[in-house]
Structure 1
Amino acid sequence: MISAAARGAEHAWRARRRRQRIGLSVWITVFLLALSVAAQVGEVSLSRLLAGLPMAADYVWRTIPALRWDSLGADLAEWMWGLDLWIGLLLDTLLIAYTGTVLGAAAALLLSFPAAATLAPRWAVAAARRVLELARTVPTLVFALIFVYAFGLGPLAGVLAIALHTMGALGKLFAEVHENADLRPVEAVRAAGGTWAQAMRLGVLPQSLPGVLSFGLLRFEINVREASVLGIVGAGGIGEELYLSVRQFSYPDISAILLLILLTVSAIDLLCGRLRAGVIGAEDLRAA
């Protein structure tokens, strides 16, 4: 015979399962409704997608140069006719990304300590986080447009745009790294008479440094890709030449520039990956 307590427990379990299924059904319905609305607003159409795919493939095919084995040297020379110019612009792109990353990371590090909930008063946390949210909410291209208008065409606009967006993105990540730090060294520094800034520098930063460096290197990889397209709005770098080639329908030039960008970004990704592995002491990552 099943006791009344057992029957009551089974009834409660079934009721809880029923509520869970109802809740899951509601969330699935809300998700599908939101997906449908988003598809309508975004004008997602399967027929348009299927009709446009051959055109996209044709555009890509036009960018592939004609390389023949019997005239391979001449064909490659014709395809890469602007190699000297493009390499110079790629170096500009790298310098824009590097300078913007260093400036943005430095500002992010300064703001990350008051943005950490475990390290600063609530008003300071709120103020610092709002600043960081504003910096990372505005797209890099929008920042670049603003700075091109303010300072004119050139790399300065790209550097400032990348620096501001980097500050917002890294500031949040650095703050989260700080929040995981052990607070006992902080308390020891404060007990010895140290200031809040000294407690952050001596008690928190040594613990957070591997994560800070790892995130900084990752952001540099991202910023190299960001800097590659900022030239579209006149913010310097190879993006300007790429945009000009697209506007002039110089199809082989498009593929040549994209290939150079791809090789450069891939090399930087590999280098930064090894540096991150060395910083965090991950032998398995270094081997990969």
Structure 2
Amino acid sequence: MKILLLLFAFFLHLNAFELQENYEFEDPVIHSQDLFPNIPKSFEILKIPEGKTQYRIDAQVIAKTFELNGIIIELGKTRFVNFTKRSAVDFSTLKLQLELMLIRKYPSIQIDEITILPRGYLESLGKETRGVFDERFYQHPKGTFYILTREGVRRYLDYSVQATLPVLHTNQKVSRKEPLSGFNTILKPIPLQTFKDKPLTSLPDHPSRFRSVLKAGQVLTLRNIEEVPMVLKNEKVIVEVRNGMVVVEFVATATQEGLLYDIITIQKSDGKRAKAKVTGEKRVELQ
């Protein structure tokens, strides 16, 4: 019997539901299925006091109520749960704003759904209201932004985006400084997720290479690549020497790599070294 109980508890734990920090309500009586629509058992969790548009409760209290009804839920990092009365406000203008912002960043993105929840009850929303988002909003599928009321008060809202984005992946192990190409990468659709930097949705317009060794199947972002220098180390370059209207050219060896307008060191045929500015592909100007 004890073994059966342990197995039952373990099964419940594997199928546990994770409690979120924020929920909306219409009916002040909150039931289990208001928090988890797919939960098999319906029972009362709490009753929001009359007249309240916001209510906060310790997550442990909710977890204990579920436990008393034979269901284990996961709290994760949730310490308190906030209930906000569902607003009749239409958020379609803010959703459209966010959608257009995402499309500007990712022209190939496929957006399925955008959800916006206010952190507090909102009675109305001006037609010209615009959201203020974090500058790196496009690197996350969810986040927080704010709007300004007519009185200049900030009202915060949470958003989440369900979308699919085609992103470049490595299709084999690549080496540091290996050129980025269609031979060592492949475009795969993935759900919009948290990225450390802007993901690559296509091959860059300018020649690029990998910054480090990467394994096959790696999602590629801007931090994984760098522009290929116009001048490479130990490469022969054309050196220009200008003196008024007179231009003299000779061949030297670059002892450093450099991007456009970088100052690098070159070595002349007599072994002497000098400073030169990168002016083009395999071309420098003596300084």
Which structure ranks higher in relative contact order (CA pairs < 8 Å, sequence separation ≥ 6)?
A: 1
Q: Say yes or no: TM over 0.5.
A: no
Quick check: which one's helix share is greater? 1
Q: Smaller-chain TM-score range?
A: under 0.3
Structure with bigger gyration radius: 2
> Taking structure 1 as the reference length, what is the TM-score of the superposition?
0.19
Q: Identify, as 1 or 2, the structure richer in strand.
A: 2
